[in-house]
Amino acid sequence: MRKILAAASALLAVTAPAFGWGKTGHRVTGAIAEQYLSEEARAAIEDILGVEDLAEASNWPDFMRSSSEEFWREAGPYHYVTVPEGTVYDPANAPEEGDAYTALQRFSQIVTDESLPLAERQRALRFIVHIIGDLHQPFHAGNGTDRGGNDVTVVFFDDVTTLHLAWDENMVDYEQLSYTEMTDWLTRRITPAQAQEWMEPDPQVWIAESVAIRPSLYPDDAELQWGYVFEHRATMRQRLSQGGVRMAAYFNALFDGDTE
């Protein structure tokens, strides 16, 4: 097992990308958000995306990573922030190329600027959807030492992967639910009081939550099986639910002109 992990770790260190929640998780956050949008936000989003809903829009920034356009060669850092242990996120410390927080501010200005081309506003809106999902995945607020868990090789049941990808995809897909099934299950459990409590449009709050959760997700054993899923499934589900509610809160504030 140690030899297998060593070989796999070397390969994954080169190949493992940071994709956020993966296709299922991102769609879940988008679909949950749809249920909490204000009438103004819903109308504004429809004006920009047409028949495309937030679930469909959510994975577009990952799909477009394969594009040869210059923009997509620069956009990799827009999926995460770095917050070393014992610190808080400060946008002044963002790298020159930007990060998820600074990109969110930039795309928010673009999406509300009606003088810009529709295609540019569509790209910005899709990226906002994606970034909000990313910032609720705790390893997208990395500690600066292991590429958000991408350098930590684990075995999720029989799959050799990374700790980052285990949270992007394995923990979610292990449920064996479609995104619509998972959306339904999670939404039914969000009480009105929880929705009100979670209606927080400030990305700094989401980042701080992910940073606080992050240390507890590092396993003592590289083999992640029933015990790990049992211990952390509630966290995974809550972050998906919160991501959806916060996405709606952000768009509601954005299209009312109340975001900072």
Q: Quick one: tokens of 8?
A: 């796999």
Query: Reduced to 3 states, what is the DSSP secondary structure of residue 159?
Result: strand
- Tell me the pLDDT band of 221, cut-offs 50, 70 and 90: very high
**How many domains does one find in the chain?**
1
Q: Hey, what are 210's tokens?
A: 């992910």
Asked whether residue 155 is assigned to any structural domain, the reply reads yes
Is there a contact between 45 and 125 (Cβ–Cβ < 8 Å)?
yes
Q: Is residue 123 part of a domain?
A: yes
pLDDT category, 9, cuts 50, 70, 90? very low
3-7, 60-64, 202-206: least confidently modelled range: 3-7
Q: List phi, psi (to 5°) of 177.
A: -120, 145
pTM: 0.91
Establish if 194 belongs to a structural domain. yes
Q: Inform me whether the pLDDT recorded for 149 exceeds 80.
A: yes
155 DSSP β-pair partners:
160, 223
Mean pLDDT of 48-77: 92
What angle (nearest 5°) sits at the alpha carbon of residue 44, between those of residues 42 and 48? 115
The reported pLDDT for the residue numbered 52 is: 98
Position 193 pLDDT exceeds 90: yes
Greater confidence, 122 or 19?
Answer: 122
Average pLDDT over residues 135-146: 98
Count other C-beta atoms under 10 Å from residue 196's C-beta: 9
Sequence-distant (≥ 6) Cβ neighbours of residue 63 within 8 angstroms: none
- Where helices occur in 16-156 by DSSP H, the ranges are 22-34, 39-49, 54-57, 60-63, 70-74, 100-111, 118-135
Amino acid letter at 225? Q
- Nearest 10 degrees: Cα torsion 98, 43, 246, 120: -10
- Under the banding of pLDDT at 50, 70 and 90, the label for residue 11 is very low
Residue 260 within any structural domain of the chain: no
Residue 251: CB atoms within 10 Å:
28
The tokens for 76 are: 């990799």
Q: Is 39 contained in some domain? A: yes
Residue type, 88: V
Lowest mean pLDDT among 3-7, 16-20, 68-72: 3-7
Residue 259 falls within a domain, yes or no? no
Whether 150 is in a domain gets the answer: yes
Q: What pLDDT, on a 0 to 100 scale, did the predictor assign at position 117?
A: 98
Tokens, residue 91: 């946008």
- Domain extent for 214: 2-254
Does residue 126 fall inside a structural domain? yes
Q: What is the pLDDT of residue 23?
A: 95
Task: Indicate which CATH number applies to the domain containing 176.
Answer: 1.10.575.10
Q: Considering the chain, what percentage of its residues have pLDDT values greater than 90? A: 84
